Structure formats: C-alpha cells, structure tokens
Amino acid sequence: MRVFRHFENLPDDVRGAAVAVGNFDGVHLGHHEVIREAGRIAQAAGIPWAVLTLEPHPRSVFEKEGAPFRLTPFSVKARRIEALGPAALVIIPFDLEFARTPPRGFVERVLVGALGARHVVCGHDFAFGHGRKGTPELLLWMGDEFDFGFTCVHEVKDAGGEPYSSTRIREYLREGQPTEAARLLGRSFAIEGEVVAGDARGRTIGFPTANLRLGEYLRPALGVYAVRARIGGDAGAALPAIANLGLRPTFGGSDPLLEVHLFDFAGDLYGQTLAVELVDFLRAEKKFDGLAALRAQIEADCAQARRLLAESPEAPRLRAAGT
C-alpha cells in the first residue's frame, strides 16, 4: 500500500478510485466493512482501491489541551488499514484552515478535483466539512451532480446487537473492560512504543519491567492487566506478560507509564519497539505499605495473569493481503 501524506497532485494510477472515507481511529470491525466495501466495488469495476483519512485527528486540532484519546496513532492506523488490502492511503493534512472548508468545497476540491473519485464509500455517521454539516445524503446528491457513485454502509452491529463504535471502545477501555473493547475492535487493544529507561525498581524485587510512555494513546483504566507483548511491534510473536498501567503510587509517581513484565524472559529491550495487548483487567492500582507487600501482590497477580492468558486464546490478527 502506498501512503500519500497529501491529496493534491496524486499520480494517475491512484486517481479514479473507489475511495473509503473516514477518520477510522481504531480501525474496528465497522471500519473494516466500509473499507472492504470500497474494495469490492473497486474489484468489480476494475479501478483502484483507496482510503482517504485525516491526520491529525480533527479532535486533537480543536481540543489541543484535551486528554489523549487515540486508539491508533497514525503509524498503527496505517498498518491496520494496509492489512485490509487497499492500494493507496491518502491523507488530508488537517488544520484549522482546512476545517473551514464547506462541505461542497470538500467534495469539489478533494473527492472530485484531487482524487477524481469514481465511487465514494462512507459509514452511516460520516460527517465532513465546516461545522460537520456534510452528510451521506449530500454525498449521494453530489454524486449525481459530479458523476461518481456513492455507497453508505449502514450501521454494523455485533452478534449481540451492539454497534461497532470508536466511542464505545474508548468507554470500555476507560471502564477497565478490555475484553469488551476487543470484541468491537476484532483484536485486543494494544499500546505500542519504544522501551524507555525506568527507575529499575522492578528489577530489585525480581520483576524487571519494560517501560512505555503512553504518548497520544487513550488512557485506559489505571491498574494491572494480563497482557501479551510483541517485541518489534505487532508482527512479533505474542509473549505472555503482566503490566501495570498507572502512576505507581507506592513510589510517588506522577506521569502514567506502562510497565510490562514478560514471563520467563531474559534480555535487554531498551530502545526496542514493544506492542502490548491488554487482554484482561486484574485489579485497580493501589498503594502498598512496603516492598514486601508489593512483592506478594505481584506474585499473586502474575499467577492470575498466567492462568487467564492460558485460558484466553490469542485473537486472530489481520495479515496484509497476499500473505
């Protein structure tokens, strides 16, 4: 998949595509349906298959002082989209100036002028243009005017009738329910980053940890999780582990940190990329009276995490088309 960090002056073999349009944060199972519908149309018509999205996420532009909320930072989102098979990912560099583009201007400038879209696909709740006044109905009408096809993918729900929703996934994670979030994502929610140096306290009590800063990721409920860790990113093998996500109150921490202890692992992970999948929530973070009490609790947590991970099969992962 080719990635274009702009939407203007695209090569001819990208123009004239069937284009899935959306923010796609999380690339959850509902997003899969939108993107794959564009793929089915592209294959049937013999035209390119592309995805159009915005970066940074508009919410981070309008709420610069807001709490981190991303389910998939751009590099992760791009990999999740690539695994579905499109030939191109086109980025709209989003800022306050672009936000003033009226809905009709968005269609004329981006979809028609820059992409020359032959067919546009979006979700039922897609909104675009200044004030989010652009709707799927407008795309349908403008498709007739500018001669492009249009498909609106209706709300997609799971077997229990719950809609796939990035908002609901965030709520589940904040509530300490990663298994419910995984049901809507189609995989475990993962935090990926470079392993950084910590205070090495875990090593002194027999539980060395690999430490990750959360960056722009959403902050799930603080506490202890059974996790699977993948060295090198989400393409690596899943290693059973336990993680504390929080402020480390026993030691007076102030910034959230993800501290991961890999079971039966010996090696130096500093500077490497680690993808940590939250499988199950064990308990809330709490302050202990001393190292002996902390160590005893960690031993109990590790035993519970090992048991849960053994009972919880690894979720299937998407692979890039053709692999």
Contact 226, 310 (CB under 8 A): no
Give me the helix-helix angle, 166-174 and 178-185, nearest 10°: 160
Q: Is the dihedral of CA 314, 230, 192, 283 positive or negative?
A: positive
Q: For residue 322, what pLDDT is reported?
A: 37
Q: Render 230-296 in DSSP notation, one character per residue.
A: EETSTTSPEEEEEEEEE--GGGT--S-EEEEEETT--S--TT-EEEEEEEEEEEE----SSHHHHHH
Q: Is the pLDDT of residue 274 over 60?
A: yes
Q: Rounded to an integer, what distance in angstroms lies between the CA atom of residue 198 and that of residue 259? A: 9
Q: Rounded to an integer, what distance in angstroms lies between the CA atom of residue 174 and that of residue 192? A: 18
Confidence class for position 200, pLDDT limits 50, 70, 90: low
Query: Average per-residue pLDDT in the chain?
Result: 92
Confidence class for position 202, pLDDT limits 50, 70, 90: low
Higher pLDDT, 205 or 56: 56
Please state, in angstroms and as integers, the Cα–Cα distance from residue 142 to each residue in 132, 136, 150, 215, following that order. Answer: 16, 10, 9, 39
Q: For residue 204, what pLDDT is reported?
A: 58
Angle formed at CA 56 by CA 55 and CA 59, multiple of 5 degrees: 125
Domain ranges of the chain: 2-153, 188-311
The reply to whether CATH 2.40.30.30 applies to domain 188-311 is yes
When pLDDT is averaged across residues 228-234 and rounded to a whole number, the result is 94
Which helix (H) or strand (E) element contains residue 151? strand 149-153
Tens of pLDDT, residue by residue over 118-159, are: 999 999 999 999 999 999 999 999 999 999 999 999 999 998
Query: 10 Å Cβ neighbour count for 73?
Result: 19
Q: Among 62-66, 110-114, 132-136, 301-305, which stretch is predicted with the lowest mean pLDDT? A: 62-66
Higher pLDDT, 205 or 218: 218
Residues 2-153, CATH architecture: 3-Layer(aba) Sandwich (3.40)
Q: For residue 256, what pLDDT is reported?
A: 86
Q: Rounded to an integer, what distance in angstroms lies between the CA atom of residue 132 and that of residue 155? A: 19
The backbone torsions φ and ψ at residue 29, rounded to the nearest 5 degrees and listed phi first, read: -65, -30
Confidence class for position 286, pLDDT limits 50, 70, 90: confident
DSSP letter (8 states) at residue 208: -
Residue 72 bridge partners (DSSP): none
When pLDDT is averaged across residues 79-83 and rounded to a whole number, the result is 97
DSSP letter (8 states) at residue 129: S
Q: For residue 320, what pLDDT is reported?
A: 45
Is the fold of 2-153 the same as that of 188-311? no
- Whose tokens are 């089915």? That residue is 40
Closest CA to 94 of 74, 112, 123: 74
Q: Is the pLDDT of residue 205 over 60?
A: yes
- Whose tokens are 């030939």? That residue is 87
One-letter amino acid for residue 208 of the chain:
P
